[in-house]
Amino acid sequence: MTSAKVVIVTGASSGFGALVVEKLLSQGYIVYAAARRVERMAALEELGAKLLRMDVTCDDDVEQGVRRVIEAEGSIYGLVNNAGYGGFGMLENVSLAEAQRQFQVNVFGLMRITKAVLPYMRAAGEGRIVNVASVVGKVALPVSGWYSASKHAVEALSDSLRQEVKRFGIRVSIVEPGPVQTEFLDHAMDVVDSVDHDQVYVKQVAGFKRAFLLSYAHADGPERTANAIVAGIASVRPKIRYAVSGAKPIFALAGVMPTVVVDYLVNKAMGQK
């Protein structure tokens, strides 16, 4: 067993997850990098990460992964719930099967591994959980309905969990990124294009894609978001929320503007009346 603190990072094969693994390793943490495709994490393994093949929607994967960590290390100090994906499309046209898949990964997958590690954190009397949400978890946009709903659920679950486990020395933080240049963009566009949209929505979807691509053209890289995630693990007094990469001004404006004005500005940005 080791005295170094042990952290599991899900969705570690790319983007925020991979960068967070690197940063935690550099600070002396023992890091288990979890993802469905371990072959994409060879570089992380070379840096010292321990790899877990894990699909967060699979009970066996999660149970076996957590058991492996406990058997090897004896404890789990931190969990970064980064696994997730964005599926976009008009609500009328996105299949319920696709919507359910988003919730299985973004919401139930997050809670599956959280439930698995909590008993060990409680036993240790300390722990850190960082859940990655999104700016659209608070400010929903057209074409992002199901993704926004899943991230809104992450916000609510995190708020409830934070209050439930604080007395056990466990701190729960939410990271709320705005647009960030990662593989997320390419995948999101692929999903939008895969949806069979009704003709009446084609112009609106095209406007969304233009606005989406423009926002990402001027977006941050993953560094700020990764730093916020690491702060949620490493800080003695972590923040409840870390709004990063353009999210803070969006929240500020949406908080003071009437909803009808927000709707108008969003529709204007998408080329709609």
- The β-bridge relationship of strands 78-81 and 6-10 is parallel
How many Å separate Cα 158 from the centre of its chain?
12
CA dihedral 17→22→27→32, nearest 10 degrees, is 60
Q: How far apart are CA 196 and CA 209, in angstroms?
A: 15
CB-based contact 180:132 (threshold 8 Å): no
Catalytic residues: 147
Q: Which residue has the tokens 């894990």?
A: 54
CB-count burial class (<10 Å; 0-12, 13-18, 19+) for 140: middle
Give ∠ CA 186-190-195 in degrees, rounded to 5: 155
Q: How far apart are CA 48 and CA 42, in angstroms?
A: 10
Q: How far apart are CA 215 and CA 81, in angstroms?
A: 25
What is residue 129's three-state secondary structure? strand
Nearest C-alpha neighbor of 106 from the set 149, 77, 135: 149
